[in-house]
Amino acid sequence: MLEVKKVGIISCSGEECAGGGISRLAARHVLESTRPGRTVTICLPLFLAGGEEERYFARTFPTITVDGCEKRCAFRATEKLSGHVTKALTVSDILGAESAAAPSFSQRQLNPELERKIDTVSTALTEAVDEIMGKPAAAEHLLKPTVPPAGMRLL
């Protein structure tokens, strides 16, 4: 049995809308600044391409998906390939459909308005991490590790 030590964040890599870019930068902000050491990310394209370490992690540890839009690719992929998603966030729910559906942006185009939106999503994500990490690990909720793939290194 494992105690919950880390939470995996799986962000949309979206190119279809601004929500994708916001979710990526918000996820990274949580990983680097608000909850470093307690969160890890899973590379979604690698996860989809068959990365066994990524799939093992998502099967074994709690995961939060952050999707850019209502297509919810990150959530659907995680449910399909690794099982239960502990918490699912969607930028369009947090910021509204209009903000999420705006055209995708390059980092050259970051402005105070986009930074504010990224902050809002990263705050929601940080709260979701705390909600999972803060819960005492009751015996019946302790995680059962699956067998790691050959040669994999535990995170």
Partner 1 sequence: MKHWGILPCNGLDKPVGQLAREIALNLAQDQSKTLACPVLLHSAPSVYAKTKEETQWVVLDGCNTRCASKLAAEMGFSVGKKINVTKLVEKENLNLGHSLRLGPEELALAQRSAAELAAALPSTRTEGEEEAAVVRDEKAAGETDLDFPASLTYTEFRQDKFRFRVPEGEFFFNENDCWVWVRGTRARVGVSDYVQQSLSDILFFSPPEVGAEVEQFGVLGTLESSKAVFEVIAPVAGRVLRVNEELEGSPERVNENPYEQGWIAEVELTDWEADRELLLDAQQYLTYLKNKVADFHV
- Which stretches of the chain bind partner 1, using CB under 8 A? 11-16, 20, 24-25, 27-28, 32, 41-46, 48-51, 71, 73-74, 76-77, 104-108
In the complex, the smallest distance separating the C-beta of residue 108 from partner 1, rounded to whole angstroms, is 6
Give 9 or 124: the residue with its C-beta nearer to partner 1.
Answer: 9
- The least distance separating partner 1 from the CB of residue 48, rounded to whole angstroms, comes to 4
Rounded to a whole number of angstroms, the minimum distance from the CB of residue 140 to partner 1 is: 32
Smallest distance, Å, CB 60 to partner 1?
17
Give the chain as a DSSP string: -B----EEEEE---SSSHHHHHHHHHHHHIIIIISTTTEEE--HHHHHHT-HHHHHHHHHS-EEEEESSTT-HHHHHHHHHT---SEEEEHHHHH-HHHHHSPP--GGG--HHHHHHHHHHHHHHHHHHHHHHHS---GGGSB-PPPPPTT----
Return the number of the residue (33 or 146) whose C-beta is nearest partner 1: 33
Task: Decide whether 16 or 119 has the Cβ nearer to partner 1.
Answer: 16
